[in-house]
Structure 1
């Protein structure tokens, strides 16, 4: 029986040893932690919003004459210059119409010249009463009608020339030409305005996004109260992050802020302009925009990892005057990058714990393992050898 009792105590001792965690610190032993010392500073006021890339200008290239497409003169998806030929429409019918109008003009000019000559011959005769005034008036009327007919046909010839020129379809703006909407042999119509292709100007390029009207109002109030400082020229910088997490290297600037609130969403539209020399930003692409709306002055910001967020607000662990961990409730403001702005609950000089938080409980003694600026403490110098 004594042997059985000894064996049972031995097994229970092993089980207790197995259940104890090596991470648990012995009672009363200080846990090493890293801390930061709270201080007021100026930080970038960064807003992160989803945005969509849009071309600066879009031109729909449509048929201005009716005819059969003879040839596509550009390469789809390439950059084209303003005025560059894109399509050729069969000009044969319009050339014939132009030639016919030109012939009518020559005939009208001949008729007008003859009518004007009659007026010149009748002028001295009517002064000598060799012909009646009625005959002279009739000759003048005929000359005026002939001259008007010449002017009318000249206008028709100009219109025919324009129509003939429209058989070469040109780019109205410089930009990137899309897919052709028609092929060779297709009939295009001027009354219907047949779409032939689209051109988008993508350098520079726009990125549009929407911001809550409430947040825009808060920013304006912060600027008015001096809590938010803009640059000297009031320029608001924007940087883009692609869906894969990489950042677009060239920053842009806000160039448009709508003053109308969308009734359906309660947001205000903003737009930034970006250089796009290499065409990396594609029209219709979704990106994340980081808007640097000035600098928040004299604020307290602490690392996100140091904050525990709950429904009631945020809490942090600090080192109290006795060198022990203490729980401190805080009021959180905006999340800027990887830091929380703290509106209340912390004062300059407080030491916030940023490591080993999972091992801490309020009242546990801690050992600060870094210098006040947050860097790791230097190792102790080796002791001098005794003589």
Structure 2
């Protein structure tokens, strides 16, 4: 009987110990955790890009007149200095002829003044004329010489103006617009654009990068350019410079790239998608939206440390991608973040980690 009593006590003790252990285990909440992932922007998210010609310029006339002849049309490639059009300038020709006549008159008057100047210079030495009369002749000669120089300058000005009747290309490129035709009236001051010239064998690409990517750009960095009208094609581009500051209205950074276009397969003025393959993956991270606690203290997440203790950590949020939300600061790639954290969690709370739910795995 004594042995039976002892055996019964041992069994009851074991039951109590097992019950206490089970109670302690059940009192520790089980949580699912996820780790942050690189932001879509930092991991190669395509950004909208605007493509522009490497160099482009409108071409205007420097003289008034009528279009005598046009030599090029839209879509034609031209070389630097190539003649694009000729302008008939009858008024400038008349002014030039009059200026030439005035130069001849001024030169004749200068010759006469020179003779009188030389003669009076001799006569004043012999006392035949007064010093004042000689001074007047010398001054008249100087005035006539100045008049000749003025007439020459006017002739040179009109010669330069006449040369503008030849409209030429300022650099090699493609004519992208033509707004005149033979016989049209050409007005220099405030007149319309004659041609538009663009250099398109190399192109500039402009991208407005979001703040989360702003620190990940450097000159020489590579990118991939894709266009809707060129499905399956990828055009390599590289970063040449950035604006260096965020735009105050959009909080984006202007990034300029260049892309070679020897076959002119890309049209200037198009829109494209630019994917940067070497951006800084640490610039921003993302977490499922159901990992963030919102309250008076601001957004927070619960991080499970190595010892199974909770650390409630404040975070700074960025853009909302729907199920995922961008986290600018507060977490790292290796942190274990509690999914659907309880409001009762506080620093030092003990938890056990279970498998994350299926929807969290997909995220």
| Interval of TM-score (by shorter of Structure 1 and Structure 2) | 0.5 to 0.7
Task: Show the 5 A alignment for 1:333-372.
Answer: 344-345=335-336
In structure 1, which of residues 217, 234, 241 is the aligned counterpart of residue 226 of structure 2?
241
Any idea what SS the aligned residue of 1:193 has?
Answer: coil
Per-residue deviation at 1:153? 1.0
CA–CA distance in structure 1, aligned partners of residues 219 and 70 of structure 2: 47
CA–CA distance in structure 2, aligned partners of residues 178 and 55 of structure 1: 11
Contact 1:59 1:173 in 2 (8 A): no
CA–CA distance in structure 2, aligned partners of residues 343 and 173 of structure 1: 55
Query: 1:11 aligns to what?
Result: none
Once the two structures are superposed, what CA deviation does each residue of 1:282-304 show, in whole Å capped at 9, x if it has no partner? Answer: 1110100011235759xxxxxxx
Matching of residue 252 in structure 1 with residue 252 in structure 2: no
In structure 1, which of residues 174, 177, 181 is the aligned counterpart of residue 175 of structure 2?
177
Gaps of 5+ in 1: 1-43, 224-229, 298-308, 314-330, 335-340, 347-351, 361-387
Query: 2:303 aligns to what?
Result: none
Per-residue deviation at 1:68? 1.0
Per-residue deviation at 1:140? 0.9
Contact 1:105 1:150 in 2 (8 A): yes
Query: 1:215 aligns to what?
Result: 212
CA–CA distance in structure 2, aligned partners of residues 294 and 179 of structure 1: 38
* Greater Cα offset, 178-187 or 143-152: 178-187
Contact 1:333 1:343 in 2 (8 A): no
CA–CA distance in structure 1, aligned partners of residues 138 and 175 of structure 2: 57
Contact 1:239 1:248 in 2 (8 A): no
Task: Show the 5 A alignment for 1:143-154.
Answer: 143-154=141-152
CA–CA distance in structure 2, aligned partners of residues 285 and 86 of structure 1: 27
- Cα distance change of structure 1 residues 271 and 135 upon mapping to structure 2, 3 Å threshold: same
Once the two structures are superposed, what CA deviation does each residue of 1:298-331 show, in whole Å capped at 9, x if it has no partner? Answer: xxxxxxxxxxx96437xxxxxxxxxxxxxxxxx9
Per-residue deviation at 1:127? 1.8
Query: 1:53 aligns to what?
Result: 51
- Cα distance change of structure 1 residues 292 and 128 upon mapping to structure 2, 3 Å threshold: farther
Contact 1:49 1:209 in 2 (8 A): yes
Query: 1:99 aligns to what?
Result: 97
CA–CA distance in structure 1, aligned partners of residues 101 and 192 of structure 2: 31
CA–CA distance in structure 1, aligned partners of residues 140 and 191 of structure 2: 42
CA–CA distance in structure 1, aligned partners of residues 229 and 171 of structure 2: 33
Per-residue deviation at 1:207? 0.6
- Cα distance change of structure 1 residues 144 and 47 upon mapping to structure 2, 3 Å threshold: farther
- Cα distance change of structure 1 residues 112 and 245 upon mapping to structure 2, 3 Å threshold: closer
Query: 1:274 aligns to what?
Result: 259
CA–CA distance in structure 2, aligned partners of residues 244 and 343 of structure 1: 41
CA–CA distance in structure 1, aligned partners of residues 202 and 256 of structure 2: 13
What value does the CA root-mean-square deviation take over the aligned residues?
3.5
Query: 1:264 aligns to what?
Result: 249
Gaps of 5+ in 2: 1-41, 292-322, 327-331, 338-354
Contact 2:288 2:324 in 1 (8 A): no
Per-residue deviation at 1:264? 2.2
Contact 1:333 1:342 in 2 (8 A): no
In the TM superposition, structure 1's runs of 4+ consecutive aligned residues that sit over 4 Å from their partners are 247-250, 294-297, 331-334, 341-346
Query: 2:319 aligns to what?
Result: none
- Cα distance change of structure 1 residues 207 and 190 upon mapping to structure 2, 3 Å threshold: same
Any idea what SS the aligned residue of 1:82 has?
Answer: coil
Query: 1:290 aligns to what?
Result: 275
CA–CA distance in structure 2, aligned partners of residues 343 and 180 of structure 1: 61
Contact 2:177 2:197 in 1 (8 A): no
